Chains A and B, each alone.
Chain A
């Protein structure tokens, strides 16, 4: 039993971390471009992103299910009911969060930061880095929120993962199952594990952030 819980927790962590990393790798640069550019259509994209923040996770789950189902366009990959399928769904859920929050973070940075970097001869990459350094608390918040969303998500994980024991059973899907089976004490125990996990990762991120602050 204990090893099973450990396995479930480990899978949850693996899925959440992988999905957060991918979502941030794509979302933060995207947010930078949106936050820093003055392109036309930027407002429309930000509006779409903010709408996507409130997207029902089961709908995303259904869409991914449709894509990965055997007869779906990506059915040949055979990914449905695998932990990778959960990661794909969670990346899509976390991407708007990472993008919208980092766009907001960049927009909130003092405009003098960019001008100062530019006038000191910095190229586009070094300028973006200077902006990111000044916005690092808000960017870290984007990562934390994305991670939190992914770790606590249940609907999409259930649909595309299938809650298969030892394979795709995450903490949240396990809690759902335990509750529906009337095993309330197990559900609470799993919930506490989930909380502890979230707390640990947040503390780690905060410590990393603190170390970078000169």
Chain B
């Protein structure tokens, strides 16, 4: 059964719609990443899934039951826990923080200490148990917040930008703990990230949001442009580049080039691709058998290629390459 089912969901603040999702299902035990730039609506969706605010329209169904009233939201909050981007730890010890949700759930006596211990252990935080929560590092705060959320054994755990803290080792520990927890029991995890590398590394599935709506493409190679019009073939200014696009539209639009559509070569190709730009590789992200290569051609372009191609071409950060894609591969929306 789906942990979350979303239908006709809209959220507006001060008359401005910031989120519009017609349908979304998150299966039990799933690990879904919400990706998109800042302001895409990721945090809003997480707050709605956490039942911290009522939507302007539409419904969120939790574990088969629609959550529509304030009382239903209150009950649902006992089963879904959100860890915010900058988690707040209450005054007091780490132990008191992790015990908070347990006490709210009516757990009493030695069971509290036992479950606090187990939650801390899962995130390798036993040493911090008696520490003042106000004296922790950013990475520690993040992990304590995750331990505090896991202690109540929620049906779903929501994480807003869990990778935003600078501490990479802490992030590894956190995601490993989540994987362990998911192996132990059915736990649905939804996390928001503006870093695609993390999303690809940790998520089972991906939902890209762009300006509050699900986007057909991932947020790589997205460009806000002003279409000159006079199509079907248009020369569109993107930073210092001119990208050839096939569209009849004019005015403000978003261009998207899927990373799979970009071909990398050592020299310019003789081909049908009307867009070819020379640049240097600035980043390489490993993801299983594929490599996501970021090339600076005046703007940053991300290309997705296989590990074999990457190795055969002897690509590396700093190498100069040509990135080519067809004008029909550029989506306009």
Contact = CB atoms under 8 A, between A and B. Distances in A.
Interface of A: 110, 112-113, 115-123, 126, 130, 133-134, 213-214
Contacts of A117: 100, 104
A113 B105 CA distance: 18
A contacts with B: majority SS = helix
B88 A121 contact: no
Contact of B88 (A112, A122, A126): A112
25 contacts: A112-B87, A112-B88, A113-B88, A115-B52, A116-B84, A118-B52, A118-B77, A119-B77, A119-B80, A119-B81, A119-B82, A120-B101, A120-B104, A120-B149, A121-B77, A121-B78, A121-B81, A121-B105, A121-B152, A123-B74, A123-B104, A126-B104, A130-B90, A133-B91, A134-B91
B187 interface: no
A116 B132 contact: no
B86 interface: yes
Given A117-B104, A120-B152, A122-B101, 10 more contacts: A110-B88, A112-B84, A112-B86, A120-B101, A121-B77, A121-B81, A121-B101, A121-B105, A133-B91, A214-B132
Given A112-B84, A119-B77, A214 B91 contact: yes
Nearest to A130: B90
Interface in B65-100: 74, 77-78, 80-82, 84, 86-88, 90-93, 96, 100
Contacts of B52: 115, 118-119
A124 to B, nearest CB: 8
A120 B91 contact: no
B152 A133 contact: no
Contacts of B103: 126
B147 to A, nearest CB: 12
